[in-house]
């Protein structure tokens, strides 16, 4: 990364031959074959591919929730000590929306959104204020006191989006965030995600089956059978070196 410029301009994620194999021996499943990709600051990326192609696995690797079984996944623009070689990530910098249900069942929507903020050290009042604002942004104010069991799958998914945005991440990784939503709501959630990304100066990577979602982002990466294909540009090639 020589000549990479100021810290803020360093890419948020760099994958070099990053692979993830589940299991071993004859039962091994290669979910992601050596992936090479860069998520620069300001990115608006859709990862498109059929079910089972490895999108969620790649997203979890980028989120540092999982480790590659070969190759590397680094976060030069998010590490606090990049020169020292230590990859020290702050959990709050990476916002993840999971594909499946992820709200904590015993907590209300407001409590689900507040909890990470309390963990980050906000006071109870600050956390409640910020959580309420995030729910309002997703037009979920009326759900604040509801438990996940009392919501539709789509509502729960939007609460999970609010929970992610309330933490003000610098990298947004959303796994099929509109998968459970009708067309109109999907459009709204995408709008909120993109405008939040603009105001947070965050990069966005969204996995999706929805051509409308993919079309609304700046670039599209494709996955098939664990292989990532992205349009190659000279800039990207340079960044990878």
Q: State in angstroms the smallest separation of the CB of 119 from ligand ADP.
A: 26
Using rule CB under 6 A, residue 49 touches ligand ADP: yes
Interacting residue with ligand ADP among 54, 68, 82, 177 (CB under 6 A):
54
**Between residues 99 and 185, which has the closer beta carbon with respect to Mg ion?**
99
Residue 40 interacting entry, from ligand ADP, Mg ion, none, C-beta within 5 to 8 Å by type: none
What residues from 67 to 106 belong to the interface with Mg ion (CB under 5 A)? 99
CA distances from 17 to 34, 36, 91, 227 (A): 4, 5, 24, 11
Using rule CB under 5 A, residue 56 touches Mg ion: yes
**Between residues 96 and 127, which has the closer beta carbon with respect to ligand ADP?**
96
**Between residues 113 and 204, which has the closer beta carbon with respect to ligand ADP?**
204
Instruction: Please give the Cα distance from 160 to 96 (Å, whole number).
Output: 9
Q: State in angstroms the smallest separation of the CB of 219 from ligand ADP.
A: 18
Q: State in angstroms the smallest separation of the CB of 59 from ligand ADP.
A: 8
**Between residues 49 and 82, which has the closer beta carbon with respect to ligand ADP?**
49
Q: State in angstroms the smallest separation of the CB of 234 from ligand ADP.
A: 29
* Token pair in block for residue 239: 């960044």
Angle at 69 between CA 64 and CA 75, to 5 degrees: 30
Q: State in angstroms the smallest separation of the CB of 87 from ligand ADP.
A: 23
Q: Are 19 and 218 in contact (CB under 8 A)?
A: no
Q: Are 159 and 108 in contact (CB under 8 A)?
A: no
Using rule CB under 6 A, residue 55 touches ligand ADP: yes
Q: Return the range that interacts with ligand ADP (CB under 6 A); candidates 48-56, 81-89, 144-152, 182-190.
A: 48-56
Interacting residue with ligand ADP among 1, 28, 29, 70 (CB under 6 A):
29
Burial class, 152, CB count within 10 angstroms (exposed 0-12 / middle 13-18 / buried 19+) = exposed
* Token pair in block for residue 177: 């965030």
* Token pair in block for residue 172: 């947004």
Interacting residue with ligand ADP among 31, 39, 159, 174 (CB under 6 A):
31
Angle at 138 between CA 111 and CA 112, to 5 degrees: 15
Using rule CB under 6 A, residue 173 touches ligand ADP: no
Residue-by-residue DSSP string for 23-65:
S-GGG-EEEEEEEEEEE-TT-EEEEE--TTSSHHHHHHHHTTS
Q: Site residues (CB under 6 A) for ligand ADP? A: 22-23, 29, 31, 49, 51-57
């Amino acid at each position: 990364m020589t000549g990479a410029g100021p810290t803020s301009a360093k890419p948020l994620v760099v994958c070099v031959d990053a692979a993830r194999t589940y299991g071993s021996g004859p039962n091994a499943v290669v979910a992601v074959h050596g992936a090479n990709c860069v998520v620069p600051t300001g990115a608006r990326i859709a990862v498109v591919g059929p079910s089972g192609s490895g999108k969620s696995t790649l997203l979890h690797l980028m989120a540092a929730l999982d480790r590659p079984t070969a190759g590397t996944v680094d976060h030069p623009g998010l590490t606090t000590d990049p020169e020292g070689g230590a990859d020290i990530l702050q959990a709050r910098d990476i916002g993840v929306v999971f594909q499946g249900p992820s709200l904590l069942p015993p907590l209300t929507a407001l409590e689900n959104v507040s909890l990470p903020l309390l963990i980050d050290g906000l006071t109870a009042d600050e956390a409640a204020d910020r959580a309420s604002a995030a729910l309002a942004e997703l037009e979920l104010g009326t759900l604040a006191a509801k438990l996940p069991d009392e919501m539709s799958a789509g509502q729960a998914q939007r609460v999970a989006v609010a929970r992610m945005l309330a933490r003000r991440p610098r990298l947004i990784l959303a796994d099929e965030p509109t998968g459970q939503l009708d067309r109109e709501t999907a459009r709204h959630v995408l709008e909120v995600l993109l405008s939040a990304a603009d105001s947070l100066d965050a990069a966005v990577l969204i996995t999706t089956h929805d051509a409308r979602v993919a079309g609304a982002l700046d670039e599209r990466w494709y996955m098939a059978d664990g292989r990532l294909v992205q349009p190659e540009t000279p800039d990207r090639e340079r960044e990878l070196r």
